[in-house]
Amino acid sequence: MDRRAFISGITFGLLAAALAAEAQQTGRSHRIGILGNVPPTEPYGALLWGAFIQGLRDHGYTEGQNISIEHLYSEGKYERLVGLADELVRRRVEVIVVPADQNALAARQATRTIPIVMIGDPVGSGLVASLARPGGNITGLAGIVGPEIVGKQLELLKAAVPQLSRVAILRNPGNPLHAVLVREAGNVARSMMLELQTLEARGPDDFPTAFAAMGRDRAGAVLVLTDGMFNIHPTRIADLAVKGRLPTMGTRIMVDGGVLMTYSPKLPDLFRRAATYVDRILRGTKPADLPIEQPTAYELVINLKTAKALGLTIPPSLLQRADQVIE
């Protein structure tokens, strides 16, 4: 049996069993759609979508009894998103849940009537008018790392590597948010006297070339922008970073896989909270009337094992600020 299919079967089997045991059946069955990037067969996908399903359970929804979920994932191939969004519309879902701006853009292209609950940068991507009054059929949480967080990530990299003067940024050109993040990084870098080098990767086969270019151009550290495709391959990115002796800021799943550090909102909390939006919409609230929430909890995680492998001593003042240190 395929390993991913096996893991997926176990994950959703356990979740379904827990839901069936604890949730209350309401009589009517609702159908919601997930237009994701990282499938639940991957650790990152299992973490986030598991949190979302837990949130549904908190509100009394039992998959297979009073709710059904249509799961569709791009697996980091963003060109598939429009077709997948159209498929969810054909399946007559009542709500579409999306984890990123490009997914929300595809969903909105497919429908202007089905409510969309997103986790991303809805204002920066132009999807809503404002956080307080989103309007239209999109609402949710401003949670994926946005422009204001990129500056903080660069500051933390500089704190970890005080002599840092040149930073490489790894972006996916298929991710529309990345152009905004790169511009913001450039603004912050100038004030910090940092030189930036931007490199692109559309797929995992582009990683070795990008990291080789970082080495040739003598980058002192790497900022990996948040991206669904990158999160499917955290260990591969971490291995290349350590091999190139490059201190790297990435997502939480990448730190668990071996990159140096992460600073971001606590995404599982946001995915669990997204279920509250789904519940309110299913109970009759219009998405236009649901203000978009901003994250209140962030985490700084530092991998000391990686720091030792890089021959890097993390300043004690930075370690004291960390929410978790992996030793």
Relative to beta strand 298-303, strand 261-265 is: antiparallel
Mean pLDDT value across the chain: 89
The answer to whether residue 3 scores a pLDDT higher than 60 is no
Question: For residue 144, what pLDDT band results from cuts at 50, 70 and 90?
Answer: low
Q: What is the pLDDT of residue 5?
A: 46
pTM over 0.75: yes
Q: What's the pLDDT at 30?
A: 97
Dist CA 13 CA 18 (whole Å) = 9
Alpha carbons 15 and 129: distance in angstroms, whole number: 36
Mean pLDDT, to the nearest integer, of 149-172? 95
Report whether pLDDT(8) > 70.
no
pLDDT at 146: 63
Of 44 and 157, which is predicted with more confidence?
Answer: 157
Categorize the per-residue pLDDT at 19 as very low, low, confident or very high, splitting at 50, 70 and 90. Answer: very low
Residue 326 φ/ψ, nearest 5 degrees: -90, 120
What does the pLDDT look like over 238-266, one tens digit per residue?
999 999 999 999 999 899 999 999 999 88
Query: Binning pLDDT at 50, 70 and 90, where does residue 138 land?
Result: very high
Q: What average pLDDT score do residues 20-40 get?
A: 74
Domains delineated in the chain: 3-144+266-296 (3.40.50.2300), 147-265+299-326 (3.40.50.2300)
Residue found under tokens 């519940």: 279
Residues in Cβ contact with 87 at an 8 Å cutoff, skipping those fewer than 6 apart:
72
| pLDDT recorded at residue 26 | 43
> In which band, very low, low, confident or very high, does the pLDDT at 18 lie, cut at 50, 70 and 90?
very low
Q: What is the pLDDT of residue 13?
A: 52
Confidence of residue 294 (pLDDT cuts 50, 70, 90): confident
